[in-house]
A and B are shown apart, each in its own frame.
Chain A
Amino acid sequence: MAAIDATRHRIDPPLERIPEVGRIPAGSPIEARLEKIWETAPGWRGWLSTVDHKTIGVRYLVTAFLFLVIGGIEALFLRIQLAGPDMAFLTPEQYNQLFTMHGVTMIFLYALPVLSGFSNYLWPLLLGSRDMAFPRLNALSYWIFLFAGLFMYISFPLGQAPNAGWFNYVPFSGPVYNTGPNIDVFALGMVLLGISTTVGSVNFVVTLFRMRAPGMTINRVPILVWGTLTASVANLFAIPAVSLAFFLLWLDRQIGAHFFDVANNGQPLLWQHLFWIFGHPWVYVVVLPAMGIVSDALPTFCRRPLVGYTAVALATMATMLLGFGVWVHHMFATGLPTVALSIFGAASMVISIPSAVAVFAWIATIWLGKPVFKTPFLFFAGFVALFIIGGMSGVMTAAVPLDWQLNETYFIVAHLHYVLLGINVFPVVGAIYYWFPKFTGRMMSEKLGKWSFWTMFIGFNAGFFPMHIAGLLGMPRRIYTYPSRMGWDEVNLITTVGSFIFAVGVLIFLVNVVLSLKRGTRAGANPWDAPTLEWAVSSPPPAYNFATIPTIASRHPLWEGRIEGEKEHTRTRLEEGYLLMRGRETLGTSPIDAKPVVILKMPEDSYTPFLVGLFVSLLFVGLLLHSWTFTALMAALSCAALSVWMWPRRNLGQRTARHDPASARRGGKGP
């Protein structure tokens, strides 16, 4: 294997210090040194101060799953109430709070965070980096997410949970018709959550463009990365709309502003525009990374690379761009002019085309491959089926006059659960089965895995397919009860039974996770014989991810030399690369062609993200309680903690002169 010529990669401006190139044999003392540099302190100190993307990723996953379970239990309560006509299991107010919190939880506290979890954990490993671009921002993003979730949930035991639906239309959520603190909790919680999502998104965008291993050009990044990248860019444009909307609502409610108040020339329709300009892209934010998971993991089980990589990557971006143009399709019934409806209806049809690209690419991948029927494959194949059904019902809602009937009925409930459960939960559960060995070093039980898949798949379809029928029979959404003789009794009973079967499936999955943590068979570095870079490191990965930064030469570095018809191979270098170990260092590369540009000095662990997150969250508690002194105090503490965070540190500076011979000597053995 030829040695890497470090200078070959030099571009302007050149690296200030040209790092040594070399190998680090497994078990060498250099690894121990790297471990020491990157490891997190033990005990509670490390727990609060860690900025390790893997720890944060796992935290995101675990927290999001807790919220999934809570949101699921809420759904089961709703389904008990709707199991038959004229049930009196819940009061209308309880029902309204439960369906609101179910939506809020699943959309904001499960669906996006769980994908952030995967991306946080996997991105640096997939990209051949040692961490995300801004590790502390990453930690902050998690803490604020956690606190925002707790903030919204504390309202529940107090009986003051949000009760106006996750869409929270004014004026019902305004000061006149909703006098309790319920909506303030939601409004403030959403602004808080917006901070978390925004800093997280900034981190993903910069990580993609600057943190890829040399040679991982933009056309070699995994589709998951494309999915999270486009979702993050979308977040940066969409979150301001919703944060603004909720902030305006809060002003309306607290200081008597009149943004949405008709009596003072406010405009309730403004809310719907602001909310859906955010809300529609958000639908894609919570499915594109999940589709990326499938695009990356399905080929492993098909024993061939994904068909149409470029087409799928472009489809991902096209979906996101179009996603911004179709928010009005949530507002077809608001009395907008027919011309506007025609344009947005047609645009909503167009958005199905990129989805078709992805679906046919997956089917072709399975068709042309030699599938291995492991549990993750079942979940991914099941996902493709659900995606097709959810996509087709979506096409029906794009047809404006038909949507005038379908909208606000159970048909939409069916559609959105096929889309969100089908396109988010199935890939996510499949992905847990897939990456569990990477996360924990142990395999999950295949036997329980297959049970969990079939129970979930059957329960899901039994539960949600009849909702289409209920919708066509005219059953409106968000009604807490219905009389018999409407023709809805049977479908609702079947739905309720199905939802419980689905819940049993989720339970089997969770049992599998818990059992496999202790008893799962040991997994090697690459138990699935997968092609992507995260499988090149041990399971679980070392704190520093890669001893040397690898050099990438293809989309499937671990399959090089084994793909039929591929002549050139062994171009990717995994063992040999830049030796970076003067403190926490990783390589910064150029945005498109991933040429090494800079040695990045990564920050040490720090309490400041936790403290900033805590104080900012308490600031919101102060706002909720109208305790202005407390709010001011927390604002001051937040600023203080931020100052400590931002204080310039000498050890992060690039102060080394070029061609420092001393560093070359310390840097390790050359080739």
Chain B
Amino acid sequence: MKASKSGFDSRPAIKNLRFRITLLAPSMVAARPSEAADTLSTPLNYFLHSYGPAATPVMHLGWLMTALLSAITLIVILLLVIAIVRKRSSADSGMIGAESGGLKWVYIGTGISTFILAGLTVHFLTVLNAVAKPTETPVLTLTVTGYDWWWNIEYEHGDPAKRFVTANEIHIPVGRPVLLKLKSADVIHAFWVPVLAGKTQMIPGLVNQKWIQADVPGIYAGQCAQFCGAAHAHMNLEVIAESDRDFEKWQEAQRRTAFPVSEHNEHGYKLFMDRCGGCHAVRGTEAEGLHGPDLTHLNSRGRIAAGLLTNTPDHLMEWITRAQYFKPGARMPSIALSDSEASALASYLSTLD
């Protein structure tokens, strides 16, 4: 079944690095064992799982509509089947049934349908109203910008010194509404973390707003939901909901600039400035590139390459040297490095905590 030598073969490499289970952090597995067991196998399943007030009413709406409409479907199909198989009196074969009659079916059927549809309409409008805006003022505003094929995330703050930028991983305080401003840097993407909220397109030239709130600490998987080109399938993100204290700690860490260069990784630093700094930024250094993800605290992230690989030193080097193999068409080139260059670069990157 797995076949074809031709073309992009991501299988063997990615297979080894298989996706880490993304929905809930290990700590949460202990806290909520039964739910975790379900969700682990389907991290984007929004039909059976929701963890925030922007998603839960919608999930219940989905249940209601599915149950109601399935029941109606079964009843109507049952009517159809009975209509087909029911016994008829053997009639004169030459005669044709009367044209009149049967309108009662149309009146009753359409009447009931209209009644149900009207009820559903009122209900979904109520749900729409409930999830359109958070009940309290959001505590945090983030600007999420979609790029081919990764996410840039800016944490706003009244004090410019406290703003910072990160990529592909959104941290939020648990139990609090967070406002997202959604933008695109190139083509149309869509922000979708199904168990927290429905999707919203990110359209160039527009700033769309949405809000999310996670009621339970954990790691929530998200994925770009608008076809955006070759690596559309590999444009994932994670939302990490944590306690206020952990979140503050994380923010403080993110606000710091990168560690200063020490003697033993100076070679790797120079290499980074030469080869990577044009596209990537590391705060506190000369690297100020804006074409790729901000790498200031790269090692604090769970995954690299917009969710494609777990963030281990090996994967990182593999990604750097074979980016086009993993994500053909991405702006990140595959960078040829000699062994000594690779180890120097790896040594420098390991300081980006």
Contacts and interface: CB of A to CB of B under 8 A. Distances in A.
Query: Are A and B physically bound partners?
Result: yes
Interface of A: 83-84, 86-94, 96, 164-165, 169, 171-172, 176-177, 262, 266-269, 302-305, 307-309, 311, 333-335, 338, 341-342, 345-346, 349-350, 352-353, 356-357, 359-361, 363-371, 381, 384-385, 388-389, 392-393, 395-396, 398-405, 407-409, 472-488, 531, 555-556, 559, 562-566
A349 B21 contact: no
A483 B18 contact: yes
B265 interface: no
Contacts of A474: 42-46, 194, 223
Contacts of A555: 99
Contacts of A333: 190, 198-201, 225-226
A357 B99 CA distance: 17
A652 B3 CA distance: 64
B69 A392 contact: yes
A593 B45 CA distance: 57
Interface string B83-94: 110101001001
A168 to B, nearest CB: 10
B304 to A, nearest CB: 15
A389 B100 contact: no
B80 A385 contact: yes
6 contacts: A361-B102, A370-B91, A388-B77, A404-B199, A408-B192, A478-B227
B226 to A, nearest CB: 6
Nearest to A493: B1
Interface in B247-277: none
Nearest to A90: B7
A489 B161 CA distance: 47
Contacts of A90: 4, 7
B110 A353 contact: yes
Given A92-B230, A479-B232, A564-B96, A401 B127 contact: yes
Contacts of A384: 80
A352 B113 CA distance: 8
B328 interface: yes
Contact of B204 (A262, A395, A484): A262
A405 B190 CA distance: 11
Contacts of B21: 485
Contacts of A367: 79, 82-83, 86, 102, 105
B98 A304 contact: yes
B105 A364 contact: yes
Contacts of A477: 227
Contacts of B108: 360
A88 B98 contact: no
A135 to B, nearest CB: 34
A486 B223 CA distance: 12
A364 B106 contact: yes
B145 to A, nearest CB: 13
Interface of B: 1-4, 6-11, 14-15, 18-19, 21, 40-48, 57-58, 61-62, 65-66, 69-70, 72-73, 76-77, 79-80, 82-84, 86, 88, 91, 94-106, 108-110, 113-114, 117-118, 120-121, 124-125, 127-129, 131-132, 148, 182, 186-188, 190, 192, 194, 197-201, 203-206, 208-209, 223-233, 328-329
B117 A349 contact: yes
Contacts of B198: 333, 401, 403-405
- Among B6, B91, B200, B201, chain A packs the most CB atoms within 10 A around the CB of B201
A93 to B, nearest CB: 6
A165 to B, nearest CB: 5
A345 B18 contact: no
Given A357-B110, A401-B61, A369 B125 contact: no
Contact of A356 (B57, B110, B229): B110
Nearest to A483: B19
A472 B45 contact: yes
A269 B190 contact: no
A598 to B, nearest CB: 32
A402 B14 contact: no
Contacts of A403: 198
A368 B97 contact: yes
B37 to A, nearest CB: 12
Contact of A307 (B62, B106, B124): B106
A43 to B, nearest CB: 45
Contacts of A309: 99
A227 B44 CA distance: 41
Contacts of B232: 478-480
Given A307-B103, A366-B80, A392-B69, A562 B96 contact: yes
A486 B44 contact: yes
B205 A267 contact: yes
Given A338-B129, A396-B62, 13 more contacts: A88-B2, A267-B205, A304-B98, A305-B99, A333-B198, A345-B125, A363-B80, A364-B104, A364-B106, A371-B84, A399-B61, A399-B65, A405-B62
A307 B117 CA distance: 23
Contacts of A484: 18-19
Contacts of A92: 8, 230-231, 233, 328-329
A473 B11 CA distance: 23
Contacts of B200: 333-335, 404
A400 B224 CA distance: 19
B46 A89 contact: no
A485 B82 CA distance: 42
Contact of B199 (A89, A405, A473): A405
Contacts of A165: 227
Contacts of A366: 80, 83-84
- Most chain-A Cβ atoms within 10 A of its Cβ — which of B91, B187, B194, B200? B187
B236 to A, nearest CB: 10
Contacts of B106: 307-308, 311, 357, 360-361, 364
A563 B110 contact: no
B230 A368 contact: no
Nearest to A93: B230
A96 B113 CA distance: 39
Given A371-B84, A399-B61, A405-B199, A475 B205 contact: no
Contact of B233 (A395, A405, A479, A566): A479
A392 B124 contact: no
Contacts of A262: 204-205
B77 A564 contact: no
Contacts of A307: 101-103, 105-106
A408 B224 CA distance: 10
- The 8 lowest CB-CB distance pairs between A and B, nearest first, are A404-B198, A474-B44, A304-B97, A487-B42, A360-B109, A307-B102, A335-B208, A364-B105
B58 A564 contact: no
B102 A365 contact: yes
Contact of A564 (B48, B62, B97, B203): B97
A396 B45 contact: no
A27 B61 CA distance: 68
A392 B194 contact: no
Query: Among A385, A405, A483, which residue has the most Cβ atoms of chain B within 10 A?
Result: A405
Contact of A87 (B2, B41, B62): B2
Nearest to B224: A476
B43 A486 contact: yes
Contact of B225 (A171, A361, A368, A408): A408
Central interface residue in A341, A472, A473, A483, by most chain B CB within 10 Å: A483
Given A342-B128, A370-B91, A389-B73, A172 B229 contact: yes
B117 A334 contact: no
A472 B46 contact: yes
A662 to B, nearest CB: 45
Contact of B57 (A96, A401, A486): A401
Contacts of B99: 304-305, 309, 555-556, 563, 566
Given A478-B227, A482-B233, A562 B80 contact: no
Contact of B186 (A89, A177, A334, A346): A177
Given A96-B230, A172-B229, A401-B131, A481 B10 contact: yes
Nearest to B222: A474
